[in-house]
A and B are shown apart, each in its own frame.
Chain A
Amino acid sequence: MDEKQKQQLWTKMKEAVIKGDNQAAVELAKEAIQLKLDLTETIEKGFVPGIRRVGQLWEEGEYFLPELISSAECMKQAMAVLQPELTKNKDSLETKARIVIGTVEGDIHDIGKNLVSSMLQANGFEIIDLGADVKLEKFIATAQEKKADFICLSALLTTTMTGQQRLIEMLKEQRLREKFKVVVGGAPVTAQWAESIGADGYGENALAAVRIIEQLTRQRREK
């Protein structure tokens, strides 16, 4: 396959993600495997530019949540096809960071958390999603077991928001605070709250969450 054909394939991949066309994205991913293309390059130059463009369209006010979440889902499905091949070839795609995410105990709301989780995954983070109503102990145990870099906590109720605070206190008590970056979010959560409980970051929406986590990941590497 010559360079021009590759370019065409990448353009199709980008467009599939922008349109949120799962079927096309999955087929294109399979095609890349059949053609024995360099899959890391395929992801970097085909799919990733698609999700970046989606982010831009959101920022410009062109895209709304249904488009945003469909594109993230599309990205996930393409990655699900490519990931086993990458593993088989021992060709690991560099994950930016490993993240344990969930909605804190007592809170069954998970739409916001799912949005953040999808966007992070679409942007190349490894996600361990514990779901909703998750015991604080479980966040910590999973993060330790999986050697995670981040713990992300969602809370949609002011009554459960305090769980975010408690988790940070628990990390301190167990002398684990320095091991994980803690990022919080959810409807009642504010930057002030995040600061007052000593969280490392706060995302007011899914894209802001991606931005802050990317920034924190860079800082971590630079150290």
Chain B
Amino acid sequence: MKPTQRPKLEILSPELAHQIIDEAFLLLERQGVFVENEEALELLRSGGAQVQSNGRQVCFPRRLVEESLHQAPAEIILYDQSGSRAYLVGQDEVHFNPGSAAVTILDWPRQEQRKPLTQDVVRFVCLADKLPALHFQSTGLIASDVPEEIADSYRLYLALIFSSKPVVTGTFREASFQVMKEMLEVVRGGTSSLREKPLAIFDACPSPPLKWSRLTAQSLIDSARLGIPSEIISMGMTGATSPVTLAGTLVQHVAENLSGLVIAQLAQPGAPVIFGGSPSSFDMRQGTTPMGAIETMMIDSAYAQIGKQLNLPTHAYMGLSDAKTIDAQAGLESGIGAVLAALSGINVVSGPGMLDFESCQSLEKLLIDHEICQMAYRLIEGISQRDEPLALDLFAGIRPDYQFLTMEHTRRWYREEHLFLQLVDRSTYGDWLQAGKKTLAARAHEEVEKLLREAEPCLQDEIKLKELQRIMLHEAKKFGLTSLPAFPERLD
């Protein structure tokens, strides 16, 4: 039997990829990056980087970057809450997870975006937990019924209680790191267990061009020391905060990622770091950052190729759309993105559910995108040889009324070769009419309500639950809350 070929996209020629990496090294050596964090500056200084006389601009000798690349792990393994299910973040493994940190939710019955409440976040987390093609959870919605200061830790709190999947998250404030770390340790059962079996990924975003703010550099350092994987989210906008050419933006992207990698490795050699990003094509008319632009996806695919070449796990924001509601644009942009991400072998793909430039989440779209994710997974499974010979034996004894429907061979293989989706419409026109002429979005809405009817908290351990509540309440009290918003009694 011949091995199955995994369909794969390599968008850059080896020569161009090589030049991008080389220019990124030179950029780090000559211009360097701006670092607004004293601890990071100290680490860099003692690591042999040159801090310029302005005290902020740091140039990285090539050797230092190469050393860090050598130290960083090529693969990371995340574990779910039970600690039994492992997810390899590396090689060409693809893990879809919902796009994170939306500030609004698309309220389907009301047909408008609004601020999410605790109840919405819980529904969202429960839904994502139930969808098998979403391997990770993300802190996808920001609840507006708690003070801004705890917005970051509160979303993790809800994700840990209502889902058992690994979580992609991050801090909005420096002080929140401690709280979020404590919650992860409670769930995992201590600092060393958390290091052994990582449960969460923390995003750290450099400010383009070429700057690490105090907050994000600190998150990198703190995560590195605890063995929490950091995902570096470089986000140049072509022609606005990075060069207008795709190749030019890639040079900056690679340089920013590598500078973060060095900071993490200096804080803790061997620290897990994911080569990621959320760059975008900048719309020169609207001044917006379309995530659904084909150029955005081309940049994503290209930097992931480079990340792989540098032997690092990869991440991208793909499988999302800039549409404001669930329309054809929402489907086409999310579909193209998810497929390209899968073909590019990107390890962590954040995006499903998202609309409106990473600002809005929709439960209905999450469900639709879940079908896209399943199709993308099927695509990269490729076409396998199941039989030897492939088909010749199946035609033995062929007659004019010959068919395959009742063949044992068909029963043997149809479920493995073909994907059965829930929501996409493959009925006849007559059946569709009879079922009420429902659009995909309308069917998704019904399905969301059905799935959520049966949802309940995942974290069953009373002691851990109490401890999480204690930590969260303690934090909330610092900002004027006397109690936490109640969990919804029913989710439908």
Of the candidate stretches A42-50, A107-115, A145-153, the one touching chain B is: A107-115
Binds A, one of B78-86, B195-203, B282-290, B313-321: B282-290
Please report the C-alpha to C-alpha distance between residue A61 and residue B357 in the assembled complex, in whole angstroms. Answer: 23
The smallest C-beta distance from A133 to any residue of chain B, in angstroms, reads 10
- Set B284, B286, B287: member contacting A111, Cβ < 8 A: B287
- Whether A66 contacts B239 in the complex (CB less than 8 A), given A159-B151, A187-B288, comes out as yes
Q: A215 at interface (Cβ–Cβ under 8 A)? A: no
> Which B residues lie within 8 Å of A187 (CB)?
288, 357
CB contact under 8 A between A205 and B151, given known A108-B213, A159-B172: no
What DSSP secondary structure best describes chain A's contact surface?
A: helix
CB of B91 closer than 8 Å to a CB of A: no
Residues of A within 8 A of B151 (CB): 159
Q: How far is the CA of A158 from the CA of B142 in the complex (A)?
A: 10
Interface residue? A65 (CB, 8 A): yes
Interchain nearest-CB distance for A135 vs B (Å): 16
Interface size (A, Cβ < 8 Å)?
14
Residue of A64, A188, A205 touching B359 (CB-CB under 8 A): A188
Please give, as numbers and ranges, the residues of chain A lying within 8 Å of B288 by CB-CB distance: 187
Q: Beyond A111-B240, A111-B241, is A159–B148 a contact (Cβ under 8 Å)?
A: yes
Instruction: Give the contacting residue for B287; candidates A108, A115, A159, A188; CB below 8 A.
Output: A115
> In the assembled complex, which residues on chain B have CB atoms less than 8 Å from the CB atom of A66?
239, 284
Give CA–CA (A162, B286) in the complex, Å. 23
Closest to A58 in B: B285
Task: Quote the shortest CB–CB distance from B365 to chain A (angstroms).
Answer: 19
In the bound assembly, the distance between CA atoms of A188 and B287 in angstroms comes to 13
With the chains together, A133 CA to B414 CA distance in Å?
59
Given known contacts A64-B284, A112-B287, A188 and B103 CB-to-CB distance under 8 angstroms = yes
Count B interface residues, CB 8 Å.
18
Q: Which residues of A contact B142 (CB under 8 A)?
A: 159
A139-186, CB < 8 A from B: 158-159, 162
**Docked pose: A146 CA to B207 CA in angstroms:** 32
- Residues of chain B with a CB closer than 8 A to A159's CB: 103, 142, 148, 151, 172
Q: Nearest CB to that of B241 among chain A residues?
A: A111
Closest to B357 in A: A187
Least Cβ–Cβ distance between B303 and chain A, in angstroms: 22
Residues on B with C-beta less than 8 A from A205 are 286-287
Q: Are A65 and B172 in contact (CB under 8 A)?
A: no
Interface centre among A111, A112, A158, A162 (most CB of B within 10 A): A158
Residues of chain B with a CB closer than 8 A to A61's CB? 285
Convert A124-145 into 0s and 1s, putting 1 for each residue whose CB lies closer than 8 angstroms to a CB of B: 0000000000000000000000
> Separation in Å of the A120 CB from the closest CB of chain B?
16
Task: Verify B213–A65 contact, CB threshold 8 A.
Answer: no
Contacting A at CB under 8 A, from B52-104, are: 103-104
Residues of B within 8 A of A162 (CB): 148
B281 CB to closest chain A CB (Å) equals 13
Give a binary string over B149-171; 1 marks a CB under 8 Å from any A CB, 0 the rest. 00100000000000000000000
Measured CA separation A61–B103 after assembly (Å): 31
Report Cα–Cα, A111/B286, bound state, in Å: 13
- Nearest A residue to B104 via CB reads A158
C-alpha gap A112/B283 in the complex (Å): 13
In the complex, the answer to whether A65 meets B284 with C-beta atoms within 8 Å is: yes
Residues in B neighbouring A65, C-beta threshold 8 A? 240, 284-285, 287
Contacts of B104 in A (CB 8 A): 158
Closest to B211 in A: A108
Contact with B along A60-81 (1 / 0, CB 8 A): 0100111000000000000000
A206 nearest CB neighbor, chain B only: B287
Chain A contacts for B284, CB-based, 8 A: 64-66
Chain B positions within 8 Å of A111 at CB level? 240-241, 287
Pairwise interchain contact B241-A158, C-beta atoms closer than 8 A: no
The closest CB in chain A to the CB of B103 belongs to A158
Give a binary string over A79-121; 1 marks a CB under 8 Å from any B CB, 0 the rest. 0000000000000000000000000000010011001000000
Separation in Å of the B16 CB from the closest CB of chain A? 25
Q: Which residues of A contact B (CB under 8 A)?
A: 61, 64-66, 108, 111-112, 115, 158-159, 162, 187-188, 205
Binding site for A on B (CB under 8 A): 103-104, 142, 148, 151, 172, 207, 213, 239-241, 284-288, 357, 359
Given A64-B285, A65-B285, A108-B207, 13 new contacts (CB under 8 A): A64-B284, A65-B287, A108-B213, A111-B241, A111-B287, A115-B287, A158-B359, A159-B142, A159-B148, A159-B172, A187-B357, A188-B103, A205-B287
24 contacts between A and B (CB under 8 A): A61-B285, A64-B284, A64-B285, A65-B240, A65-B285, A65-B287, A66-B239, A66-B284, A108-B207, A108-B213, A111-B287, A112-B287, A115-B287, A158-B103, A158-B359, A159-B142, A159-B148, A159-B172, A162-B148, A187-B288, A188-B103, A188-B359, A205-B286, A205-B287
